[in-house]
Amino acid sequence: MKTSLDFRDARVVVTAGASGIGLTFARRFAAAGASVAICDVDAAAVEAARAEFPAAVTATADVTDEDQMTTFFDEVEQRWGGADIVIANAGTGGPAGVIEEQTLADWRACLAVNLDGAFLTCRWAARVLKRGGGGSLILMASSAGLHGYPHRSPYATSKWGVVGLMKTLAMELGPFGVRVNAICPGSVEGDRMDRVLANEAKATGLTEADLRSRYVAGVSLRSWVSADDVAEAALFLASPAGSKISGQAFSVDGHTHSLA
């Protein structure tokens, strides 16, 4: 039997899906035939996504805002009657700096997007996927959810939390046919890492070029990854090829051995 990446009957929800890796998820699942629903906090990016995916459910919503997310999820249920694949993708890089220089407000803001957002999305996903008799829930963690990450303590803490949430939900939802996994990307080429390198350069006094070489040195394949590399993993995990995979923190990072 051949592996099928045909998603023609699938309804896929992606949070923070209007740019970055989330937009690549939306594009790749839509290209494989899926219906997509996207929310994002950036209204202009949502407008552009609406133009690109005219049939999609789209909403300007902040994943930390329970009311806005409820409105988005209600619309998904009204339009589709359920969902098959949910990707809790939203995440923020948080501040860069040693812990003595972190503020409580920045710490909380990072944990709010990365953990409160994942909680609200997973709570809804659990209900609709169980009711539908099964499905695939994918959380976006990071290499920082598997390693220590100097100068990025809020981010690393939140992504370890995402892995803990994933492991727990895989146990809670497995008996209902819902598979729960996390994808742990390494450094992904794009705007986000450009911003991260600029912040880390300010915090450490190193140049962005030095930081880039340090990141590459901590990866066995000596490379960064692309958003498409990450989307390939999501397509695989959500497909029948991944039907016995649950509870896994799935690295797409060229084998990161150190983030120091």
Ligand X SMILES: NC(=O)c1ccc[n+]([C@@H]2O[C@H](COP(=O)([O-])OP(=O)(O)OC[C@H]3O[C@@H](n4cnc5c(N)ncnc54)[C@H](O)[C@@H]3O)[C@@H](O)[C@H]2O)c1
42 forms part of the interface with ligand X (CB under 6 A): yes
18 forms part of the interface with ligand X (CB under 6 A): yes
Question: 200, 121, 213: which is closest to 153 by C-alpha?
Answer: 200
Tell me how crowded residue 226 is: count the other CB atoms within 10 A of its CB. 16
Question: 33, 7, 38: which is closest to 23 by C-alpha?
Answer: 38
22 forms part of the interface with ligand X (CB under 6 A): yes
Closest separation in Å from C-beta 130 to ligand X: 24
Give the residue, chosen from 41, 87, 166, 259, that forms a contact with ligand X under the rule CB under 6 A: 41
How many residues bind ligand X (CB under 6 A)? The answer is 28
94 forms part of the interface with ligand X (CB under 6 A): no
**What is the rounded CA–CA span in Å between residue 20 and residue 8?**
24
How far CA 137 is from CA of 114, 121, 215, 217, in Å, comes to 16, 10, 29, 32
Which residues within the stretch 67-86 sit at the binding site for ligand X (CB under 6 A)? none
Half-sphere exposure of 257 (CA within 13 A, CB side): 6
Give the residue, chosen from 14, 26, 113, 173, that forms a contact with ligand X under the rule CB under 6 A: 113
32 vs 144 by CB, closer to ligand X:
144
**What is the rounded CA–CA span in Å between residue 180 and residue 153?**
25
End-to-end Cα, the chain, rounded Å: 44
Active site residue 149: no
**What is the rounded CA–CA span in Å between residue 31 and residue 15?**
18
235 forms part of the interface with ligand X (CB under 6 A): no
φ, ψ for residue 18, nearest 5 deg = -95, -10
From the candidates 29, 53, 155, 250, give the one annotated as an active-site residue.
155
Here's the x/- map for ligand X, 167-206, by CB under 6 A: it reads as ------------------x-xx-xxxx-------------
218 forms part of the interface with ligand X (CB under 6 A): no
Closest separation in Å from C-beta 182 to ligand X: 10
Q: Which residues are catalytic?
A: 155
Residues that bind ligand X (CB under 6 A): 16, 18-22, 40-42, 45, 62-64, 89-92, 113, 117, 140, 142, 185, 187-188, 190-193
